[in-house]
């Protein structure tokens, strides 16, 4: 599932995800994210940090619902404070959008196809 207010990530990732065999679920708000997690099976959540604002508490709510769900946070602009707050939430991967999609695609593959621990 890709949760973002605009179409940037979804447009960039959909060809890769579909080629890999994933069905892409697109949501635009935290409320839609929450409702979708309650009603559908999600293998990985790619969440735009813009939806979080300054409050990372939503990540804790998701972790409470789906403890093992890999969460990948994508930020437009990185600040040490934001990155620290987000990483404290035990996310799977933190991605800076200006780095391109190659490492993001690899993180999604690793999150979904990870070997049992």
CATH of residue 73's domain is: 3.40.50.2300
Range of the domain at 11: 2-112
Q: What is the pLDDT of residues 46-90, one digit of tens each?
A: 999 999 977 788 999 999 989 999 999 999 988 888 888 888 898
Question: In this structure, is residue 59 part of a structural domain?
Answer: yes
Q: Residue 90, by phi and psi: left (phi above 0), alpha (psi -120 to 50) or beta?
A: left
Question: In this structure, is residue 26 part of a structural domain?
Answer: yes
pTM greater than the 0.85 cutoff: yes
Q: What are phi and psi of 53, to 5 degrees?
A: 65, -135
Question: In this structure, is residue 64 part of a structural domain?
Answer: yes
Domain count, the chain: 1
Question: In this structure, is residue 117 part of a structural domain?
Answer: no
For residue 66, what are the contacts with CB-CB under 8 A and spacing of at least 6? Answer: 37, 42
């Amino acid at each position: 599932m890709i949760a973002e207010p605009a179409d940037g990530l979804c447009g960039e990732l959909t060809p890769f995800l579909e080629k890999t065999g994933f069905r892409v679920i697109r949501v635009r708000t935290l409320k839609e994210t929450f409702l979708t997690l309650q009603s559908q099976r999600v293998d990985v959540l790619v969440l735009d940090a813009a939806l979080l604002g300054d409050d990372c508490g939503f990540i804790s709510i998701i972790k409470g619902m789906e403890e093992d769900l890999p969460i990948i946070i994508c930020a437009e602009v990185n600040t040490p404070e934001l990155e620290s707050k987000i990483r404290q939430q035990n996310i799977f991967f933190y991605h800076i959008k200006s780095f391109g999609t190659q490492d993001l695609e690899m993180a999604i593959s690793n999150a979904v196809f990870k070997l049992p621990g």
